[in-house]
Structure 1
Amino acid sequence: MTKNTSTPRAPARRLSWNDPATRALVYQALILSLVGFAVWYLVSNTLHNLAARNISTGFGFLRQEAGFAIGESVVAYTPADTYGRAIWVGLLNTLRISVIGIIAATLFGTLLGIARLSRNWLLSRVASAYIEVMRNIPLLLQLFFWYAIITESTPGPREALNPLPGVFLSNRGLKLPSLQGDALDWITAGLGMAIIGILLLAHWGRKRQDATGKIFPLVRVGVLLLFALPAAGWLLSGGALTVELPELKGFNFTGGMSLSPEFSALLAGLVMYTSAFVAEVVRSGIQSVNQGQWEAAGALGLSRARMLRLVILPQALRVIVPPMTSQYLNLTKNSSLAVAIGYPDIVSVVNTTLNQTGQAIEGILIIMAAYLTVSLSISIFMNWYNKRIALVER
């Protein structure tokens, strides 16, 4: 007698309103239809109104000559360049202030968060007062405050403060010496190779420590690479390298490197404001670690600083990283307030562009696309890092 091993076929699904899956499909189709109709209506109505007013559309204006100057830029720019080049300069200025602000706010906020948990009564109270004050004053007011301090309380260029040789502080900004010469590209390449080498050595050192228990001296080797590789690049280039000092000519300084009052005020405001929120994130992360971890580290004879660095903070990172992502995104988006104090970020540059061309919709779309791209990039990186440090269940 043979045994029937064939799998019975599932009964055919009948379309019925009593079937939850059928109702779900109908509801989703209706919602998608409504959204599609709303988008079509808005786009067609906008295009009709623009055509009725003889307003041109499209992004062809990006190839036209801009005709306006930008106070500071990371790359070369002149008024004869195109609007596309001007917007690129504004985007680079936004990225510049965001990257420097994120690094500075992370370092300062971490120190503040640790200080708030300090056993020193005065230090913890000062940190707490700073955090509460900065968190409850609007960022825009802080930007106005720092800009007024920098521009009103510092002297003019002729009476500029000179705390160090080649360093001048005035209401035109901070002037610093700069490196000039053909060897600068080689030195920059050597510095980049040193950073990549340190990251690779850190990854290899962790694997080596897991396998053998031996700790690789990453700090000493990293410092050596940071000095040796740029020096090697300078020697291999054979080019000249000179130090250009700022020099007062007429009513302002020429030469050297300059940090404008707008950049300095924006950086100070963003760092001071965001670091207060970062400090609370760090504090909550440290307090989430079980007290037994402190006691176990103390039983091993570790100092409090080494306990924090080797035992507590690595575990607290799993709690710190997710909310820290929100603070990084907030700092990047808050940089758009730069237009209030005259820093030429992407919002300021696009505003000037749309005032000259009348391409308001295209300009707003460019700003939205720029911030969306930057924010998603930060989120993707932080999510990757969060998965990397997450506990893996066996």
Structure 2
Amino acid sequence: MMSGRSLKVELGAFLNVRSLSSFAVQCLVIIALFLVIRWITHNTIVNLRASNIASGFDFLDKRAGFNQPSSIIQYDDNATNGEVIEASLVNLVFISAISLITATFIGLFIGIGRLSNNWLIAKLSLCYVEFFRNIPPLVLLFFWSIGVMQILPPARQSLHWGAIAINIRGIYLPRPVWGEHTGLFIVISILLIAVAVGLHFRARYMIKERGLTSIRWWYGFVIGVLCPVILFFLLAYPTSWDIPALKGFNYSGGYYISPEFLSLYLALSIYTGALIAETIRAGIQGVDKGMSEAGSSLGLSNGLIMRLIILPLALRIIIPPLASQYMNLVKNTSLGAAVGYSELMMVSSTIMERTGQSVELAVIWIEVYLGLSIVVSLFMNWFNRHMALVER
């Protein structure tokens, strides 16, 4: 017969088992999460029924009834809500991509400038970082949209720079009329670049694993760069140019860049560039000074030391926080709704006012921004592993 004290000891030992405690905590978390989701779903269904709003995504096939002339993919009033959202998603990805590239270059130059031996360059870089880093991006957006774009002259008094026209309605650029085989050129060029990248990685593998040094590096350059350039002149070289011209009260023809796009592009690039500059400065200062001294002892210039020694080593420190800045920039594109840029949030808000499908559109927002952030994160994680030191 087991005594009461022994029973308590055995029971306590049983409950203190780590695996059992972990399992119990996980079960409680799952139950709590299920109850929260069930409560949110129930309230949503009740509210939709009370508002006489039918749930589902059938509204995507209905006529939108509006258009956005500044959209990359043009559409008219007869386009469906789904087509309008797809066009806004293209606008979102495009503004994100070019803003990421511009912000990276700004951050690189300003970050290096902050560590310059030139007093003026270092102080100007410091002022840039401290000024723009401490201003909300929405304020910068309104500054460019209201303080700059709205003071440009009207269409009839446009500023001209060659065939380029600048006025309060945007910027009008000449548009090349590409050759009739441009599509074939794009397909072939993509295949050639893919082959060149494959040859590059194979060459690196042969050098690293087998110790071969007679790899022809210029093969990839010829296939991936020289051949597409030759094909461009043979298949896709512009036959003429579509020059924008004033017709009535506005310009027509050529490429059109809206003031909303310019405002969002400049605000995101300048603001994120200041944050990236600090990330790059911290990464460079995290490299041992002995590396610079070793480069100097070899007779390398400061530019070569920075490009060949410091920056490659600093990338291992820079990449993880840089990924966060990239994802923040992608999410900040939603601020374009404040100035009327036809990105996802602005277009979806218009559709919501017409259809009342707030829940479905919120799901689309979450999927889009979560998906883009995951893509950026996966790419930066791959790049981080690619730049990591390989231990032997």
TM-score (norm 2): 0.89
Tell me: CA distance 1:218–1:279, structure 2 relative to 1, closer, same or farther (3 Å).
farther
Matching residue of 2:242? 244
Contact 2:113 2:122 in 1 (8 A): yes
Matching residue of 1:8? none
Tell me: CA distance 1:375–1:295, structure 2 relative to 1, closer, same or farther (3 Å).
same
Matching residue of 2:58? 60
AA in 1 matched with 2:380:
M
| CA-CA distance at 1:287 after TM superposition | 1.0
| CA-CA distance at 1:294 after TM superposition | 0.7
| CA-CA distance at 1:144 after TM superposition | 0.6
Aligned counterpart in structure 2 of residue 144 of structure 1, from 142, 145, 159: 142
1:15-26 superposed matches below 5 A: 16-26=14-24
Tell me: CA distance 1:190–1:112, structure 2 relative to 1, closer, same or farther (3 Å).
farther
Matching residue of 2:183? 185
Matching residue of 1:96? 94
Matching residue of 2:170? 173
Contact 2:197 2:220 in 1 (8 A): no
Structure 2, unmatched stretches of 5+, are: 1-10
Matching residue of 1:9? none
Tell me: CA distance 1:209–1:95, structure 2 relative to 1, closer, same or farther (3 Å).
same
Tell me: CA distance 1:252–1:204, structure 2 relative to 1, closer, same or farther (3 Å).
farther
Cα deviation, 1:135-176, whole Å, max 9, x if unaligned, reads 001110100111124422321111111122x11111111111
AA in 1 matched with 2:75:
Y
1:33-44 superposed matches below 5 A: 33-44=31-42
In structure 1, how many angstroms separate the alpha carbons of the residues matched to 2:239 and 2:247?
Answer: 24
AA in 2 matched with 1:374:
L
1:220-369 superposed matches below 5 A: 224-225=226-227, 227-234=229-236, 241-369=239-367
In structure 2, how many angstroms separate the alpha carbons of the residues matched to 1:220 and 1:126?
Answer: 39
| CA-CA distance at 1:318 after TM superposition | 0.6
Aligned-residue sequence identity (percent) comes to 37
Tell me: CA distance 1:193–1:24, structure 2 relative to 1, closer, same or farther (3 Å).
closer
In structure 1, how many angstroms separate the alpha carbons of the residues matched to 2:246 and 2:219?
Answer: 44
AA in 2 matched with 1:247:
A
| CA-CA distance at 1:48 after TM superposition | 2.1
Cα deviation, 1:24-77, whole Å, max 9, x if unaligned, reads 322321221121112112212221232233221111111111111123222232
Matching residue of 2:77? 79
| CA-CA distance at 1:216 after TM superposition | 4.1
In structure 2, how many angstroms separate the alpha carbons of the residues matched to 1:280 and 1:345?
Answer: 29
Tell me: CA distance 1:31–1:223, structure 2 relative to 1, closer, same or farther (3 Å).
closer
Secondary structure, aligned partner of 1:16: helix
In structure 1, how many angstroms separate the alpha carbons of the residues matched to 2:338 and 2:332?
Answer: 11
Secondary structure, aligned partner of 2:14: coil
Structure 1, unmatched stretches of 5+, are: 1-12
1:4-15 superposed matches below 5 A: none
Say which is worse superposed, 176-185 or 78-87, in terms of deviation. 176-185
In structure 2, how many angstroms separate the alpha carbons of the residues matched to 1:163 and 1:201?
Answer: 44
AA in 1 matched with 2:229:
F
Say which is worse superposed, 64-73 or 17-26, in terms of deviation. 17-26
In structure 2, how many angstroms separate the alpha carbons of the residues matched to 1:118 and 1:220?
Answer: 34
Secondary structure, aligned partner of 2:15: coil
Contact 2:200 2:220 in 1 (8 A): no
In structure 2, how many angstroms separate the alpha carbons of the residues matched to 1:168 and 1:109?
Answer: 30
Say which is worse superposed, 313-322 or 210-219, in terms of deviation. 210-219
| CA-CA distance at 1:384 after TM superposition | 1.0
In structure 2, how many angstroms separate the alpha carbons of the residues matched to 1:355 and 1:275?
Answer: 35
AA in 2 matched with 1:88:
E
AA in 1 matched with 2:165:
F
Contact 1:87 1:350 in 2 (8 A): yes
Aligned residues between the structures: 377
Aligned counterpart in structure 2 of residue 156 of structure 1, from 154, 157, 176: 154
| CA-CA distance at 1:273 after TM superposition | 0.3
AA in 2 matched with 1:135:
R
Contact 2:68 2:74 in 1 (8 A): no
TM-score (norm 1): 0.89
